[in-house]
Amino acid sequence: MKVEAKVLLSLGLFFGIMCAVYWNWSLENAGGVMMFAGMLLCFLPGGYYYWWSRRMKARPEDNPYATQAEGAGVVGSFPGTSIWPFTLGMGAFFVVLALVFGIWFLVPGLALVVWALLGGTAEGRRGGHV
């Protein structure tokens, strides 16, 4: 976890320095704000990982001498198949078409989106449709 944290924190640090130099030199706000936001986007997860990396034991994937047996067990619950991403994607498609061709496209679009959100959540609670 330490390396992951350091990657993000060092990127964030660089963006911060670059932001300070750029903003003070150019006095141009759009780029300054975007670089500042880039710094925050790196510090937020990077700081979280760093905070955790000091409090947890090294995971098997962080230990250069780990054996495969150390990783045995359940990695996580992976869904087998699911129709809901497709439903949600089509819903988003219709919502975007509503932006262009007419507001009535929102009706099937939002219906599909809501249906997919409900279905996907229910599926997630059941542990996935396999």
* Separation between Cα atoms, residue 104 and residue 94, nearest integer Å: 10
Rule CB under 8 A: say whether 24 interacts with other proteins: no
- For 94, other C-beta atoms within 10 Å of its C-beta total 19
Segment (H or E) for 1:
none
Regarding 121 and contact with other proteins (CB under 8 A), the answer is no
66 binds other proteins (CB under 8 A): yes
Q: Does 3 bind other proteins (CB under 8 A)?
A: yes
9, 20, 97, 117: which one binds other proteins (CB under 8 A): 97
Q: How far is the CB of 27 from other proteins (least distance, A)?
A: 9
